[in-house]
Amino acid sequence: MFIREIYTMKAPFRQEFMIKGYSFGKGSKAACILGPTRGNEIQQMYVCSQLVRVLKELEANNCINSNKEILVIPVVNNYSMNEGKRFWGENNADINRMFPGGRKGDAAFRIADGVFKVIKEYSYGMQFTSFYMPGEFVPHVRMMATGYHNASLANLFGLPYVLVKNPLPIDTTTLNYNWQSETTAAFSIYTNRTTQIDEDSAKQAVAAVLRFLKRMGVIKYESHSGYISHIIMEEELCSVRASTGGIFKSLVKAGEDVRYKTAMAQIIDPYEGTVKEMITAPTDGIVFFTHTDPLIGQFDTAYQLIHRLHE
């Protein structure tokens, strides 16, 4: 294992900002695994730390295949993580929406540039990230439909679902989109937690990455076959929205089967304690995403459902 500096930046009133990377093996740039670009992605940092631990053991046992290099960057935005903030600095910049970055501009833009110059040369790119809405997902692989994407490769992670998203203009500044533009096979991996550590889904995520690396001939590793992934398009998901705001009391979890008119959540009046709204399932399906914050606003997405196909 070799520890390298990915990017450094001087700070006027605190210690130097530095992003560390951990390299395993030598040779062609096979795979890069990137951790949090946001300061509250604790689960994502934990998964990357566990991958560093396992890859270190595999390298010691000569299980990194010859002429293959793996780079793991466990944390990008460590300043915001230390401050307990999701985004960077006083302007709340989202580093994940600053790619490919540039040498000039604000700090987040320069950080994205420094990181991207290093990681864009790798054949496979895996990013552990979180959604813009607070909540829990069924573990899945997400990718942009850029024309360079390959859903068949995403199946090799062995996670339950592969979600393909048609990019909007705002998505063209994300890492996934820009990684693919450099012909890297890029995948965003979602576990079911963000701000807290969930050991079971973390183990599932580590196993998925190792499974992929094995199947692509990067490492020698004995792994279970995992799931036969179901590919879905983002527009195929059924969004269930709250018609009123209040205290959110969920009655179902991500991954659960629901039937038409199943009670999914209650929205409680924060002053009087009465049930203002009972959210019910608009269709048969599987809960793909669930809102987890204790409060919900009017018209916020409470759930996303995968339609169940009837035989």
pLDDT in tens, 179-202: 999 999 999 999 988 989 999 999
Going along the chain from its start, the domains and CATH numbers come out as: 2-233 (3.40.630.10), 237-307 (2.40.50.100)
- For residue 48, the model assigns a pLDDT of 98
Structure tokens at 106: 């604000």
- For residue 309, the model assigns a pLDDT of 57
Distance (Å, whole) CA 19 – CA 80: 13
pLDDT in tens, 133-180: 889 999 999 999 998 898 999 999 999 999 999 999 999 999 999 999
- For residue 310, the model assigns a pLDDT of 47
Q: What is the pTM of this model?
A: 0.92
Residue 91's pLDDT band (cuts 50, 70, 90): confident
pLDDT in tens, 246-294: 999 999 999 999 999 999 999 999 999 999 999 999 999 999 999 999 9
pLDDT in tens, 32-49: 999 999 999 999 999 999
310/145: higher pLDDT:
145
